[in-house]
Structure 1
C-alpha cells in the first residue's frame, strides 16, 4: 500500500483528443479568411491602379491632341493670313481662345505671326469630343530650309524656290479625372509657300 502512495500518476493531455479537430478546423478557417481578405484587397488595389492608368493615358492623349490641333490652327491662320474665329463651321469646332483681349482670335493671330510679343499664357482651349486640353503657341524663328531655292541662288524655279520655314514652340496640357494632368511640348515647322502639309 505504501508503494502505491509513492507512485506518481502522469496525465498526458495529448491522450485526450476531444476538441482537437475543432481547433484544427478553426485554424484552417482563419488561414482561409486571411487569404480571402488579402485577395480581395489585391483586387481592389489592382482596380484602382487600372483606373489611374486609364486617367493618365486619357490626359496624355488629350495633351497630344492639343499639339496637333494647335498645329492645324497655326497652319490655317498662316495660310489664310488672318484670324480664325472659334467654332466657324468645320474649321475650329470646340475651340475657345483664352485671351482677355477684345478680339481673342486676332490676338492669337498677331502672336503667331510675330506682330505681338509672346505673352507666356495658354492661348487655346480644346473641348470637343471628350478632349479637355489647353495649348500655348510661341513663334520661335523663321528660316530658309536646306535644299530650297535660296540656298542655290535661284529665285523663281517653281515649288521649293521660295520656301520659308516658320518654327513654333507649342506647349500643351491635357486633363482627365482625379486632377490628372499631362504636359507635353513640341516644335512645329510651318513651310510657307509649299502646298499641303498640316
Structure 2
C-alpha cells in the first residue's frame, strides 16, 4: 500500500487508459463506459516503443486491419483480396508459426528497454543504509494522520527512532523512545537523525 512501484504495470496502464478515455468521452464525461471499447482498440493497435510492436500483433501474429484500410484499400488488403482461400490459409499459418519467435524478440527488446531505464534511474538514486543503533526519522504515514488537516509547513518526518534490526534489501525494524516497534520499513522512508 505504501510502495506504489509494486503496482507499476497496473498503475501505468490505468493512467494510459484514463488519458485515452479523456480524449474520447463527451463534455459531461458520463459516457466513458460506452467509449471504453474505442479506447482499448486505440491502445491495442498503437505501436509501443519498448516491444517495437503493437499489443494486437503480439497476440494475433498479424497487424490489425483498420477500418480506414477497408474504405481506402491499402496494398496489404489488395494483395489479400487476390489470394485464394487456400493461399490465405497458408500465409496465416506461417504467420502463426512465427508468432512465438516474434513474442520472444519483443520480450528481449522489452528487457533491454527496461535495463536502460533502470540504469538511468539508478544513476540518480542515493542509497541510504543504516546500522543497528543509528538514530533515524521516518516519513509520516497518511494512514496515521488524524482527521484534522495539518499545515503545509508541517514536517513530513516523524521520530526520532533507533534502528533495532537490519534486514536484507534495505528493510529495517525501528523502535521509538517508548519501546514501540515499527517495521519492517523500507529504508527509502527513513533518513538519518542528528540530535
Question: Same fold by TM (over 0.5)?
Answer: no
TM-score by length of 1: 0.23
Greater helix share, 1 or 2?
A: 2
Q: Between Structure 1 and Structure 2, whose CA radius of gyration is higher?
A: 1
Relative contact order, higher structure (CA 8 A, sep 6+): 1
